[in-house]
A and B are shown apart, each in its own frame.
Chain A
Amino acid sequence: MSSTLTMHLVEETRPPSGTSSEPALVTQGLSKRFGERTAVDSLSLAVAKGEVFGFLGPNGAGKTTTVRMLGTLIAPSSGSAVVAGLPLSPDNGVEIRQRISVVPDSPGLYLRLSVYENLECFAGLYGLADPRRRIGQALESVNMEGRAKDPCGTLSKGLRQRASLARALLNDPEVVFLDEPTSGLDPVATHEVHELISGLRKRGVTVFLTTHRLEEAERLCDRVAIFSTTLRTVGRPDELRDRLFKKELSVETLAPLPSPEAVFGPLTSVEGWQAEGASSYLLSVAGTKAAAPEVARALVRSGADVVSISVSRRSLEDVYMQFVDQDVEVLHK
């Protein structure tokens, strides 16, 4: 495992350039211990306003504990944080909770009450001045205006999750914490939740999304953190890929090349190559944009019939597995 994987890249925990200079969330050495067990160890990161930030990790990694600390539900054992512009402290609990919303992994709706009655209760808890209008807006945001009178107990799991998202929008939060929002949902309901998260991004709401669905994080998040008790890495998905993996081109020809080394060896942009099959080759390159035309010209010069030249793209899952594998190795030692 490369040393870049093991170090905490503190400078990369800062919000990306191009986003608001004032972060919506900052944690510094945030830790939580339950007796002898450490759930979160010295978490330091910053999330920009309006950013969709993915917090990835395996089950039991401490993601929910982190959300609960930042949501003022549980107190950190040590460290500090600023949430929605306020220092995380018991004295600021009420004010922080006024500025944020937390959507737990289960919708937590009152099943005997209608959707509207559920939202009405929370509108009262937020002290909203015009609850009827705000409830209407929240229901419209999740396309549930027509289901307002339905008892929550009669709703499908996907609709319940949408209702819980409507609840989270009532107070017009600066930061929304979504804890595994698509857990247990079917693909259609998952897609709907993804659309809602995209809608939050458009409205400039900061979203702190915990998930272990990597394709979800890759699709929705500006940056992701990989976390398992400690912060392993943080950055944009493409940055993490570039940091961990060499850039590669995948080449396929109609027939095997008689001498691949003679074709690829002299190319300055190609750092190495290996055969992937009878007539497929994986080339390590310095940059895909510079290498692809050079490789194409070399193949044509050699008389090869080129079927395809494509950028071999590693997924966020590959990145994630590097860190999870590292965890497993540590556990086994």
Chain B
Amino acid sequence: MNNIDMSRVRAIARKESRDYRRNRFVIFTMAALPAVFVSWSLISILLMPGGQPSAQLNSQVGMSMLFMLLVPAIVPAVITAYCVVGEREQGTLEPVLTTPVRNEELLLGKAFAALVPTLAISYAIFGVVLACVALFAHPGVPSAVFRAPLLVALALFTPLIASWSVWVGIAVSARSRDVRVAQQLATFASLPPVAVAALMAFGLLPQDLPVALGLAAGLVVVDSRGWRAASAMFDRERLVTRS
């Protein structure tokens, strides 16, 4: 991470953001997938009867909220899966690689461009869902939603899962020859961290604060390795020569 020039990172991130905003596929992915997941999550919570035992209610709420974590998992994976192989297919990668940009700067720029909107969308969705729960859910349900372990887990897991997906997407994209294959592989590879959250949601792990923090720490470790793996898989010569 030494010698990272943030102006180059910003140049790449800004270019990516502009390109994303004018790409219908990216716009659709960023809008449609969250809409589906949040609708599913919200409807299931709003339809929950309030008079259930708390353990049962907590489990149902946990599973419903789990859907919202699919947004930071899948959206950046689909977007970043395009970012290297897509550029290579369009012939735009080689000119960039002839500039002084380092691999780490290029990948960080691409990562930020996918991560920032994903987090903005994810947290906005959480806000909308929590507001709807507070206003419209059956009595008893809001207390199952507004629990510190659950909210902390959502708040912490969202950037960590998104980061994992970003690195997975970039790594897959750097090694793929075809955009569609890259997007399919990256989508599948983005899901394992969601399984960590699922352990809590399904009650296999206790839904308490220490467990949430412990799992988050584990994801931090996984993310740091994902970053190194993505950097290692970005081979300029292979990308340029299409070997």
Contacts and interface: CB of A to CB of B under 8 A. Distances in A.
Interface of A: 34, 68, 71-75, 94-95, 97-98, 100-104, 106-113, 117, 120-127, 164, 167, 171
Contacts of A73: 94, 97-98, 236-237, 240
B10 A71 contact: no
Interface of B: 5, 7-8, 10-12, 14-15, 18-19, 22-23, 90-102, 236-237, 240-241, 243
Contacts of A107: 91
Contacts of A101: 98
30 contacts: A34-B243, A68-B241, A71-B98, A73-B97, A73-B98, A74-B241, A94-B102, A97-B100, A102-B95, A103-B95, A107-B91, A108-B90, A108-B93, A109-B92, A110-B15, A110-B92, A113-B22, A117-B18, A120-B11, A120-B14, A121-B12, A122-B95, A124-B8, A125-B11, A125-B12, A125-B99, A125-B101, A127-B8, A127-B100, A164-B95
Contact of A112 (B18, B94, B237): B18
Contacts of B97: 73
Contacts of A75: 237
Q: Is the interface of B mostly helix, strand, loop or mixed?
A: helix
Contacts of B236: 73-74
A249 B16 CA distance: 62
Nearest to A109: B92
Contacts of B8: 124-125, 127
A248 B52 CA distance: 106
A34 B19 contact: no
B240 A68 contact: yes
A113 B240 contact: no
A189 to B, nearest CB: 18
Given A122-B99, A124-B7, A108 B94 contact: yes
A121 B14 contact: yes
Contacts of A121: 11-12, 14-15
Contact of B91 (A102, A106, A117): A106
B240 A112 contact: no
Nearest to B98: A102
A164 B92 CA distance: 11
A112 B23 contact: yes
A124 B93 CA distance: 16
Residue from A95, A102, A121, A126 with most neighbouring chain B CB atoms (10 Å)? A121
A107 B93 CA distance: 11
A69 to B, nearest CB: 10
A70 to B, nearest CB: 11
B7 A127 contact: yes
Nearest to A123: B11
Contacts of A34: 241, 243
A97 B99 CA distance: 5
Contacts of B243: 34
Contacts of B18: 112-113, 117
Contacts, number: 90
A141 to B, nearest CB: 17
Contact of A104 (B23, B90, B91): B91
A290 to B, nearest CB: 51
Contacts of A100: 98
Contact of B19 (A103, A110, A127): A110
Contacts of B14: 120-121, 124
A34 B23 CA distance: 36
Contacts of B5: 127
A125 B19 contact: no
A75 to B, nearest CB: 6
A106 B95 CA distance: 9
Contacts of A74: 236-237, 240-241
A111 B90 CA distance: 9
Given A117-B15, A125-B96, A127-B5, 4 more contacts: A71-B98, A94-B102, A109-B92, A124-B14
Instruction: In the A-B complex, list the 5 residue pairs whose CB atoms are closest, starting with the nearest.
Output: A124-B11, A102-B98, A125-B99, A112-B22, A121-B15
Residue from A120, A122, A171 with most neighbouring chain B CB atoms (10 Å)? A122
A108 B92 contact: yes
A2 B243 CA distance: 38
Contacts of B95: 102-104, 108, 122, 164, 167
A104 B94 contact: yes
Given A75-B237, A121-B12, A98 B19 contact: no
A126 B91 contact: no
A209 to B, nearest CB: 16
Nearest to A179: B94
Given A104-B91, A124-B7, A112 B98 contact: no
Residue from B90, B95, B243 with most neighbouring chain A CB atoms (10 Å)? B95
A98 B10 contact: no
Contacts of B100: 94-95, 97-98, 125-127
B89 to A, nearest CB: 11
Contacts of B10: 124
